A and B are shown apart, each in its own frame.
Chain A
Amino acid sequence: MPHERSITELRAGLENGEFSAVELTRHYLSRLEGSSQDLNAFITVTGDLALEQAKKSDIDRSKGQAGPLSGIPIAHKDIFCTRGIRTSAGSLILDKFIAPYNSTVVEKLEQAGAVMLGKTNLDEFAMGSSNENSHYGHVLNPWDKTRVPGGSSGGSAAAVAAGLCAASTGTDTGGSIRQPSSFCGVTGIKPTYGRISRWGIIAYASSLDQAGPITQTAEDAALMLEVMAGHDAKDSTSIATGVPHYTDSLSDSIKGLRIGLCQEYFDEGLDATTEKLIMEAVAVLESQGAVISEISLPTTRYAIPAYYVIAPAECSANLSRYDGVRFGYRCENPRDLDDLYKRTRSEAFGNEVKQRILVGAFALSTGYYDAYYRKAQQVRRLIKNDFQEAFNSVDVLLSPTTPTPAFQIGEKSDDQIAMYLQDIYTISSNLAGLPAISIPAGMHGHLPTGLQLIGNYLDEARLLNVAHQYQLQSSWHKLSPPAGDAE
């Protein structure tokens, strides 16, 4: 079935005329209308637009003008602004928000010929690790519908895993691409901070937010990233360096590659079966010529504390724009301006969002700024220095993506701290701004397990190369969940 194929395989099918872009799009749309939709992975399906774009793509192809992703049906996390289509960020406050412009990522993928099937579900404003914080209800994990898909890009990861789209965009502030990719058995890369323009992505924590693709394979991730990456004059934090052809280096040998295992990521919090699966994957890489050593990142224990100061502080500033005046939700019959602001925000933000705003406002307030915000920024540099030290002796760092496989819906929703600890292996690379990828590396019973590789700045090509080489020797990324075959 086409939905089990990778982008590379779908491109071949389109090129040799096995199916047209319109036929392929209809196939995915019928899956979205069918029983597969009960995962709640999508907030909005844009069927008419998708068919229009597919038609255009078929015409472009007939004229010999096909782009790199011509006719490939993809989905966008509902945090990327899309012109004329609701962009909700999973929040009631943006439930009726129709962006007047496209984000740079959406624009670039459209220019490359990709077909947009719709917008995927997420934790409200990307704040969460389970997709239980969405105004539109939680997403189910296609491997086990009693479990969470991870978050915050939970809808994106579930949709790719279940074959509801060929690939999806996501964003990652503390692990929001990699953790759901791990839970859903798909490939997800968070590039170097600034590699992809943030313009038109609804902001959560601006110094940590970064977009990336979620795909079936590392090869597909390379294809998507090539299109998504690059400098953008509209985002002054985007990196000016040119974008390499990530697909060119996929087949390079990894003989002699130095892989460091971060000791602190194999601690007592790690599930024993997950550890066993990761070490089996390490053995595969070793058999391909990689040289394995142990590395210490002593500041790891400060990462979650520093994150839960910096991210809420930036969120409290970013979310101050939602005031009921220029766009978004407005409360009924405000008594005065103060009442308008307060009731609008209090009625339309969810609890987790409100709490992060409060923690952030506290950390930035007079008397606490130095002890919290400034201290967290200093710790952040220590974390970066740790990584720089590690990269003097190894090329990439390897770890599990998460301490356990997907947990039950509701299991951690009353224990916020346990939820925050989910991101213990992913959060440091956001603080340091480093690229990192999660790939499927084994089955924990009926649940996927993800392996994480962290690279040096702008070393995405190497991460994709190592991931691809591993995928040539393993078949975990080819497994489909039972829910994906619901038709």
Chain B
Amino acid sequence: MSGIAIDAPGTSQLFIGNEAIARGALEAGVGFAAAYPGTPSSEIIGSLAQVAKEAGIYVEWSVNEIVALEAAAGASFAGIRALAAMKQNGVNVASDFLANLVMSGTGRGGLLLIHCDDPSAISSSNEQDTRPIAKWLDIPLVEPGDFQEAKDMTKWLFDLSEELGTICLLRSVTRIAHARGNVKLGELPKVKPKAYFDQTHDLKNVMPTKYIPVPSPVRHFFQHMKLNRAREKFEIAPFNRYVGPQNPELLLITCGSCWLYSLDAVKALKLEDRVGILKLGTIWPLPEKFLEQYVTKAPKILFVEEIDPFLEQSVMELIAGLTSLDHYPVFYGKRSGHLNAYGELNPDMVIKAISNILGLTYQPRPVEYSSQAESFRKSHVPERSMTFCPGCPHRATFWAIKNALKLDGRNGFVTGDIGCYSMAIGPAGFFQVRTMHCMGAGAGIANGLGRLGQFGFDQPVLAVVGDSTFYHATIPALVNGIYNQSNFILVILDNSATAMTGFQPHPGTGITAMGEPTKVVSMEALCRSLGARVEVCDPFDLKATTATLLDMMTEGGGAKVIIMRRECELVRSKKQDAPYKVYVDQDKCIGEDCGCDRLCTRVFLCPGLVWDKKAGKSRIDEVICAGCGVCADICPRGAIVKEAR
């Protein structure tokens, strides 16, 4: 249970950044919050949903990010403070509405878009810096540098959004969103707002309501005036600060998680008297006068920020226009190659960059220890590749797909997208997935491939999507495939949860974010209504699943749908004990002498199956085995035994 609604002002709690943002929203009196789950943003809505009833607010998992933002805007238009939260890719999905919303302005209720970037793409299909969207679409943007700020900034930003009548952006990254730290709580509001859509406004003779983004040039000009007012607020905001000597040899300009890395680096190098850190919390528009005070005093400037050189380019542009400077400082950062313009940073990278610039050496541990440790790592630490969990239905699905494609014999293949099942690009899913892009992309790509018959293309194409992804991003691609008669099979991996992001419910589960029962949007009924052949399989029944796949591939024709239905093992195991006790009959398993060439441990690769070197046979690791029993059906000698518990 999330502790974000604790009514204990002044006490310190240990929150992840996302919980701190959610708490800030509660303290600001948020009434409406919507999102589609996406790591590293999911816990904002997850934690708000847990306390929604006691806090008297409305929280939903929307079907995708653009609907989440549109729904939140609806609440803002009716005077309710609202937020939409998403990961970096979600901003792309929501950006069309966002670009229009900037022109129309928001309602009486403040409106925030909270976007969490994933530098290094730790849980993403790509890495991308979403800060430039603020410059691109003219939207005020702030970014917290620690957990306390994540809370305080969220509250502060609601006031700003309401005052200016514009949506505001709060950007966070994985190492704030998903890291934990101290947060001192503030007061929770006691007054509940009333929702009302006000249809009158001062330009009534020109436009029927306020919320229309035309005439666009006029609206665009208004937005620039709002940005200028935001800049004035940013000049005196409590989130920009400087630490260090009055005239530093080197000035670091930083934001977000890099603020803490910069502090760590300067401390580790004991350079507190020589190096200054200018930390920005208000990122766009830049607080120009505030910056000017510091950039004019340092002969060298290092920009410490993650992914794009956003501050680097914006501050250099600002300095280029300063008339008070008689000579420019030397700039270091991504342009100079001292820090990467890709991947996440960490304190060691900042230590290295500063050491390079100032000509220092840094040695955290004795050289002999380092070389010994490195050689032990090489000799004694085997790789540990990611894999599907023991008992995961996806392993069985990809096993069936692999065998069906082989039996079909036409060199068929799988297109995919992002989800747990992306692991099928590697050994966990037998290298079956050949393309992996944004949500739903596999189905879109299959639409193109499935129309290439006139060019001699006859390879079967299977597009895999998760159940939550089906509702989010696949329905238009399926409609397109049926309308344009593209030849592919949509494989929906229905594990009854948005598993990769933390098992959130979706329209097929019959439950809402706030835990209320609701109508199930049946994926098979929906697909059948479109005119597709639809089959539903249990992937644990390998034989039937393989046969159905093969039959659908042989049939050809337009787009078809096969639903692989089996609950996520991590969800199932919370409710029930393992269905089977599984063991390897040591008399039946003949190990290396069997013609199977260690099919179970070498190819099937469930971590619950291990190779006993001494015995030269397979064995079940009872600590790992989930008791699904699927491996009993792949052993050609029937040596793996499953006994119902």
Determine if chain A interacts with chain B: no
